[in-house]
Structure 1
């Protein structure tokens, strides 16, 4: 592999891991791995207060880990791409308890 490509890829991976290193952002991404949610639904399910939740969602959106769609006055969030889904599925399988 080309060293310049590797350097760019490692920088991108480091940015993603930095975002994942915050427990609340990781929790938000874990919830979004289950589907699409509005800000209000995320706030209610995760018991995160609106100002901090908005800041976390904004960072995740800026780094293109989540996408949004507007429906009336509601903004719906979901994971942005297959890479993010794969990361969250791996983390879920490794760290989230099962009923078994």
Structure 2
């Protein structure tokens, strides 16, 4: 636990954070949000990069939009998606660093987790 952590503040926001984690617990939505952590992308790029089939991707993007996690911008016939909250970007980058570090990154996450 972090020194100086305000446990009462965490307690007050626990429902909100728990809801976010539940939303991101679906593999497709997690992949989408991971891709968007580096910036805005059109739907076609999200589909290509995640490998999520278009009908499923549409459903998951709609859910993320309804929950306020992503926003959209239309440019001609393309729709671009981006994350709405810098805290989500920070969470996703922390997850990526912990579970999928860049090649050559120095960390101990390559060790298998044993429970």
1:37 aligned residue (41, 48, 55): 41
Secondary structure, aligned partner of 2:102: coil
Gap regions ≥5 residues in structure 2: 1-5, 105-115
1:77 aligned residue (60, 65, 81): 81
TM superposition score normalised by structure 1: 0.87
Equivalenced residue count is: 98
The structure that is helix-richer by fraction is 1
Structure 1 stretches of 4+ with a deviation exceeding 3 A read none
| 1:48-90 Cα distance to aligned partner (Å, 9 max, x none) | 1111000100111111111111111111001111111111111
Bigger relative contact order, structure 1 or 2 (CA pairs below 8 A, ≥6 apart): 1
Structure 2 matches for 1:13-32, cutoff 5 A?
Answer: 13-32=17-36
Q: Aligned-pair RMSD on alpha carbons?
A: 1.9
